[in-house]
Every structure is written in C-alpha cells, then in structure tokens.
C-alpha cells in the first residue's frame, strides 16, 4: 500500500437513527486495525465520528432518512466522510466543528454536489 494514497476500506449507509452510532464507531475500530494509532487518539476519532454522524442524522431525519459514511485509510492517514441529506442551513453544529478543529489533522465541509445536504470529511495523520 502506497503511504499517501487513501483506499476505501468500508462504506455504510445507515438510517438517521442515533442507535446506529455504535455500528459507525465499531466500523472505525476495524478500519484502523493494524495502523499506528494510540487508544487515546482512536477514542478522539470515535468522539468526532459520533458528533459528526449525530449532527448528520439530526439534519437528515426529516429529509431522506439516511446518512452515508465512507472510511478510507493509507499507511499515513485515516479519513472519514459523512454525507447527510438535510436541507442547506447557514448554521452548523459548533461542538462538532470545534472537535474537528481540535482533534483532527484535516477537515473539510462542503455542500454535496449531487443534491441536498453536505459532506464532512475529517482525517488523522499517522502515527497518532
């Protein structure tokens, strides 16, 4: 595996139900298996994943009812993308944004190009 190129490891399409957050966190644990990441940094990423997915589920619940999550990794980085299908809103979830900025090495938030909603990508450089 090339150190810099990210490879898709897992994709989930889950109902906009916070009961699905444990499945999302468990998938993240499997994705980082074998990578040089500390338990503390993994816990940080699980917290960020929970916040971002929870916000996406809240925004999407009345719209399409589904959230897409993509997990990518390389030898140098792990990246998660979360797409909601909620209506465009100017305000964001401040706790999630603050967590992203503090706990991740890279963040990106954009409108989804193929319909309503947005995509939030966050990543952590390795080793972490």
The reply to whether 111 falls in a domain is yes
Q: Does a structural domain hold residue 1?
A: no
- Kindly state whether residue 24 falls inside one of the protein's structural domains: yes
Stronger pLDDT, 61 or 108, i.e. the higher one: 108
Q: What is the pLDDT of residue 96?
A: 58
Instruction: Answer whether residue 2 is part of any domain.
Output: no
Give the count of domains, the chain: 1
Q: Tens digits of per-residue pLDDT, 8-50?
A: 999 999 999 999 999 999 999 999 999 999 999 999 999 999 9
In CATH, what number is assigned to the domain containing residue 108?
Answer: 3.30.565.10
Structural domain range at position 88: 7-125
Q: How far apart are CA 24 and CA 8, in angstroms?
A: 15
Query: Quick one: pLDDT at residue 55?
Result: 87
**Domain assignment present for 37:** yes
Query: Would 40 be classed as within a structural domain?
Result: yes
């Amino acid at each position: 595996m090339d150190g810099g190129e990210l490879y898709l490891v897992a994709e989930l399409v889950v109902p906009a139900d916070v009961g699905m957050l444990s499945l999302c966190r468990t998938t993240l644990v499997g994705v980082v298996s074998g990578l040089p990441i500390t338990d503390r940094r993994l816990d940080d990423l699980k917290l960020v994943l929970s916040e971002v997915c929870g916000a996406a589920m809240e925004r999407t619940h009345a719209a399409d009812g589904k959230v897409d999550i993509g997990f990518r990794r390389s030898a140098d980085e792990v990246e998660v993308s979360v797409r909601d299908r909620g209506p465009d809103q100017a305000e964001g979830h401040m706790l999630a944004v603050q967590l992203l900025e503090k706990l991740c090495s890279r963040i990106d938030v954009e409108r989804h190009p193929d319909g309503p909603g947005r995509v939030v990508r966050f990543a952590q450089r390795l080793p972490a």
